[in-house]
A and B are shown apart, each in its own frame.
Chain A
Amino acid sequence: MANEKPSSAVHNAAAVSESIRIENQNRAREKRQLFLISLTSVVICLLIWEIAVRTALINPKYLSAPSQVFQSFITKFYDPKPDGAILPVHFISSLYLALVGYFAAVIIGIPLGLVMGYSKVFYKLINPVFEIVRPIPPIAWIPLSVIWLGIGTTAKGFIIFLAAFVPCVINAYTGVHQTNPTLINVAKTCGANDWQIFTTVCIPSALPLTFTGLRVALGNSWSTLVAAELLSAKAGLGYMIQQGRSLVRPDIIIVGMLSIGITGALLSACLSRVEKKFVKGRNAR
């Protein structure tokens, strides 16, 4: 009996490692297969698009083939025609506006939300105003801000600020509000004062949700910026696609849309990077 045990264990271990190997192999094969499916689907879509436009199945006045879009994308880097500026100029003008409004909202909104989460009196004081203003989409503020502040940087910055402000405040508030009461009690037991509790317990535990708010706010401010530029602007990616429409240049519109999409995705990827650095032990809860 005693002699049998080790050999069967060795045997078992070999069987297990063998089955793990097979499992891994299967998984890798499945992954490869799924990747192939993804690749073919993208290629087929692009091909259909290209062929439909080339054979004039879709009027080229309305849609440009992917190859043409790519070409326009390259030319747009040095050719200011037809809307008066090259792509990087539009891009920087949009990015500058979005970031100014966004950072203003973050700098004011996050502390406000954190304090609202900590002090009930403060929350009750601010929240009604907030609830009245919140359902109005930031885009609806555009005409008012144009009348008040003109069509310059200030007006657009203000609208982007509004768009980013709400998610910042709400998420920071919810984050602090949901702090585990046990942790607060522990801090109290250890003799921490209110300020220490706020800075060392509430704020760290609010960080994950705050970052969610930051991400939502970034998306909001980027898409609101596009709306603001569609309605009133002299530069920027939104202005570029609007010009593309009035000049019936679908390639310019699509280049603009793609640039907007790519920039938005990149911005959110940057934020995820920052989040990973700051928020540790997110799954510890």
Chain B
Amino acid sequence: MNAKTSKLRDLALSVVSILCLISLWLVLSSSRPDFFPTPQMTWERFIELIEYPVSKVSILGHIWASLRRVVIAFCYAVVLGISLGIAMGWNKKIRAAVEPIFESLRPIPPIAWIPLVILWFGVGEFPKILLVFIGSFIPIVLNTMTGVALVDPMYLSVSRVFKANTLQTMIHVVLPASIPAIFAGMKASLSSGWMVVVAAEMIASKSGVGFLITRGSESYDVALILCGMILIGIVGALLGVVLTLLERWLCPWTTKKEK
């Protein structure tokens, strides 16, 4: 009974909070609707967006363009990053050779690479994928490396006792033990990749969700900016959900441990 009422209260509080947000939006926007469109105007603009493509690409096409860049770069980053991370975590010499270069590149935010990459490769598809790759590679490598280096030495001794060779130890001991850390890195890298793709599209692009909001600000179409922002938020949140589901499916033991 008590649990039920507290659940009800929580629900009521959530509803109140969202209502507050919407009414705040209504109040703020009613004075200058051209400056800050009302929720209704934004919704209408969204319907219009579905019906009429922006710069010859439909709304799904824009989302797909951004997603494609992120997914391609993310796959490369996962494969290369996990391999490099395992090598660095496993072998001290490789780590010593690669880490200083890595540590000196790490503090440079991926967004700061945009001008240089545009200068090198222009504004096509490849430079954007490269930028997303830069943004998502580093968290994966660092997390994998830490995960591998922190594998319980006891496990390694056990695998040595059972006469496992290096490859077997890798596959059966090191990889499963470091997967929580790897997934944490993948989550960080996916959200950073999504941010980078939006930034890259805002600076130079003809398609994608980042382009939508830039187009909105160029044509003073504030409702379009809001639509773009909401879409970016939704897709970003969904990407995180997909990765969490993947983690639960691939390695069910990690989620159990958390609880």
Contacts and interface: CB of A to CB of B under 8 A. Distances in A.
Interface of A: 30, 33-35, 37-38, 40-42, 45, 62-63, 121, 124-129, 132-137, 139-144, 146-148, 219, 222-223, 226-227, 230-231, 238, 241-242, 244-245, 248, 250, 253-254, 256-258, 260-262, 264-265, 268
13 contacts: A42-B100, A45-B101, A129-B20, A135-B236, A136-B230, A143-B213, A144-B222, A230-B115, A244-B115, A250-B119, A256-B112, A257-B116, A268-B107
B237 A135 contact: yes
Contact of A37 (B13, B18, B97): B97
Contact of A245 (B14, B116, B240): B116
Interface of B: 9-10, 13-14, 16-18, 20-21, 35-36, 92-93, 96-101, 104-116, 118-120, 194-195, 198-199, 202-203, 210, 213-214, 216-217, 220, 222, 225-226, 228-230, 232-234, 236-237, 240
Nearest to B113: A257
Contacts of A126: 17
Contact of B198 (A37, A42, A137): A137
Contact of A227 (B20, B111, B225): B111
Given A121-B13, A132-B233, A147-B220, A230 B203 contact: yes
B209 to A, nearest CB: 8
Contacts, number: 160
B108 A257 contact: yes
Nearest to B222: A147
Contacts of A264: 107-109
B116 A129 contact: no
B232 A137 contact: yes
Contacts of A223: 109-112
Contacts of A124: 9-10, 13-14, 17
Contact of A140 (B17, B210, B220): B210
Contacts of B228: 140
Nearest to A219: B109
